[in-house]
């Protein structure tokens, strides 16, 4: 795939992730817990990781949180979301690249969701300098199981379909 093609594809992925984030914020959750999200945009990061690799995955994750800050206008949530994006991307990459025999995409996505929550809560602890915020973590981890499972499941289908319909992505990936 040519460089321009790849750039366009990545920017498309970022915008899809943005749209998912905005839609997600309109969906009410039954649990009132700071930091609990569906994590739909994690799908995009996961797909990018699988298709393009680590470098572009973390690029998409960071771009997505940066542009989301410009859309929503809240700087504090940007700090939470970018730390979560970086940590979850690193851990998902490790899980996918080196432990793909052990974990399917669902497991990788659960790891990502859990890491995202952990990073967010840790940053909140540092920013508010109150270690008691860690008491949210068990609940958030339980929620991340569900969101991670569904994100992983849908990413599996996405990757399957991409493999079928965009063979060019996979066939010439090595030449880039």
Residue ranges in contact with another protein by CB under 8 A: 34-35, 37, 74, 76-77, 80, 99, 101-104, 106-107, 110-111, 114, 124, 128, 130, 132-135, 137-139, 141-142, 144-145, 149
Calpha distance 127→76 (Å, rounded): 10
Nearer to another protein, 40 or 111 (CB): 111
**DSSP secondary structure string for all residues of 89-147:** HHHHHHHHHHSTTT--HHHHHHHHHHHHHHHHHHHHHHHHT-GGGGGGHHHHHHHHHHH
Q: How far is the CB of 153 from another protein (least distance, A)?
A: 9
Q: Which tokens is 102 given?
A: 């052990």
| Residue 44 near residue 60, CB atoms below 8 Å | yes
Q: How far is the CB of 28 from another protein (least distance, A)?
A: 14
Q: How far is the CB of 2 from another protein (least distance, A)?
A: 36
Nearer to another protein, 15 or 156 (CB): 156
Nearer to another protein, 13 or 137 (CB): 137
């Amino acid at each position: 795939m040519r460089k321009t093609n790849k750039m366009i594809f990545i920017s498309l992925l970022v915008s899809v992730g943005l749209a998912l984030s905005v839609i997600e914020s309109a969906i009410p959750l039954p649990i009132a817990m700071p930091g609990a999200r569906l994590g739909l945009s994690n799908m995009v990061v996961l797909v990018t990781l699988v298709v393009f690799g680590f470098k572009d995955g973390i690029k998409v994750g960071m771009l997505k949180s940066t542009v989301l800050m410009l859309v929503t206008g809240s700087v504090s949530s940007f700090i939470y979301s970018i730390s979560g994006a970086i940590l979850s991307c690193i851990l998902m990459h490790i899980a996918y690249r080196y432990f793909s025999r052990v974990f399917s995409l669902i497991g990788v996505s659960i790891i990502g969701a859990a890491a995202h929550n952990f990073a967010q809560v840790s940053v909140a602890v540092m920013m508010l300098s109150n270690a008691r915020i860690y008491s949210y973590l068990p609940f958030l981890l339980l929620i991340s199981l569900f969101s991670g499972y569904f994100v992983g499941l849908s990413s599996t289908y996405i990757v399957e379909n991409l493999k079928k319909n965009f063979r060019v992505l996979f066939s010439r990936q090595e030449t880039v």
